[in-house]
Structure 1
């Protein structure tokens, strides 16, 4: 039902209470994937994204799927996080607080094709956010919807910090 944008808008406009009701099912291995798929589709609506981040335990439950879900469940979970992070810097910070980086690195290597691509895109995006924060940009200076390729083009320093400095794929090659 949630795959149609018209239905997503209807679901959200008539009952934002559906998202908190999905959270307990994200912990059920037989239903988690379906719930992540619904959340992914609901992310096309701003009110739903707000409800997802404001619902207690929702981001943590989606994040848990990165480690426990099937490859398809992981793909949907990464997409939910990616869609949230592209919207607001605060969402990126909340996602980062859940400790997603190790699971994203694993999915970027071992996930299915779409999961690998989405995980890598989210890792690059989060690295760009971390880089901008290291440069002293305020939240209002960072456009969270900016294309990740633009973020990497803006990098002028070879300094890599934080968790990303420990991941080989993010180490700058010396010339």
Structure 2
């Protein structure tokens, strides 16, 4: 493993280099101000790690054997490819980004090395390329690199979101699918949910949810679910027409595979007043009762959760779902569901009892 010392502390090189590159001026361990940024290889510790791995028949971590990097040759190849990304030749750029796409798919080590070689800002620039193949490969590279947690911050820092949204709106279907998957990956960090939500990504994701391929709809649904966990994005999603798209999925036989995703997102949205109004206006109650009567446990409990949010403190809606046949499936769910399902079903049944009285 490539360990280095900085101001009497030892770190793995990739992590401390990234710490410095992000503009931090203090030691992450002691919080003392760094007097210099010279990284000195810690050969003693590296040797001890290598010896221990050899004695215990464990593969050398981080691409090192007997203290020597297995990736040194790979790094020189990657640096050369990154340089070619800025070539004046369209064909040369296309070939280079295609090779980086392949490398970024293979391993975490490659994702670390590609980022360390400075590829991320260049790849972000290529997201707006007029060459279709280059754009497709560039967004796929960014997606692959984002899988490695520490690369997420570098991608966001490079201002990638605006370009990713542009690809999501106007790219080929493959590029749009990978752009949606990239936004999902980046939105796993809570602070990124806010930035992505304010970037115009949500209307573009809703459009893909309505008009994409089966894979595109899945990618869009996953990204939208994650973004809507943040309360401030729920209103944006409703204004973008997400409820209409989701309700259609509940009743459209061609979208039967998306019922799970639709219910999951609706259960998250149902706490928002605008979303509640839109869900009720779309005449969703019969479809939700129908789902309660199926044998899909997860879907049944999500339907119960949505109905509880919609009908709480609304006697008229409670009476309506009672007339639509909610009681029997709710009783079954209260006895045979998961803990969450039982809890939702029991709460709804109690509200129905009071409403009838």
Q: TM-score, normalised by structure 1?
A: 0.74
Aligned equivalent of 2:137: 34
- The runs of at least 4 consecutive aligned structure 1 residues that moved more than 3 Å come to 131-134, 148-158, 170-175
Instruction: Report the alpha carbon displacement of residue 48 of structure 1 after superposing the two structures with TM.
Output: 1.3
Cα separation, 1, equivalents of 2:178 and 2:270: 33
Structure with bigger RCO (C-alpha 8 Å, 6+ apart):
1
**What is the deviation of 1:150?**
7.8
CA deviation after TM superposition for structure 1 residue 123, in Å: 1.6
Separation in 1, partners of 2:282, 2:232: 13
Distance 1:100 1:82 in 2: 11
Deviations 1:30-67 (A, max 9, x none): 221111000010011122111000013x1100111111
Which residue does the alignment assign to 1:61? 163
Unaligned runs of 5+ in 1: 135-147
Q: Which has the larger radius of gyration?
A: 2
Report the 3-state secondary structure (helix = DSSP H, G, I; strand = E; otherwise coil) of the residue aligned with 1:3: helix
Matched with 1:75 is 177
Match of 2:149 among 34, 46, 54: 46
Aligned to 1:90: 191
Q: Deviations over 1:61-101 (max 9, x none)?
A: 01111111011000110011000112x12111111111112
Asked whether the 8 Å contact 1:40–1:76 carries over to 2, the reply is yes
Alignment RMSD = 3.2
Which SS does the other structure have where 1:40 is aligned?
Answer: helix
Instruction: Give the SS at the match of 2:105.
Output: coil
Contact 1:36 1:77 (8 Å CA) reproduced: yes
Distance verdict in 2 for CA 1:52–1:34, change over 3 Å:
same
User: Structure 2 vs 1, CA of residues 155 and 19 (structure 1 numbering), >3 Å: closer, same or farther?
Assistant: closer
Aligned to 2:201: 100
- TM-score normalised per structure 2: 0.38
Shift of 1:128: 2.6
In 2, Cα distance between equivalents of 1:74 and 1:85: 16
CA distance in 1, matches of 2:265, 2:211: 25
Checking the alignment, whether the CA contact within 8 Å between 1:160 and 1:172 is kept in structure 2 is no
CA 103–72 in structure 1, closer or farther in 2 if over 3 Å, else same: same
**Number of equivalent positions:** 155
Q: Does structure 2 retain, via aligned residues, the 8 Å contact 1:29–1:69?
A: no
Q: 1:165 to 1:70 in 2, by over 3 A?
A: farther
Match in the other structure for 2:228 = 127
Q: Is the 8 A contact 2:234 2:272 kept in 1?
A: no
Query: In structure 2, what is the equivalent of residue 110 of structure 1?
Result: 211
SS state at 2:229 partner? helix
Offset, 1:151:
7.9
Residue equivalent to 1:173 = 284
Structure 2 unaligned blocks of 5 or more: 1-102, 236-260, 286-316, 318-357
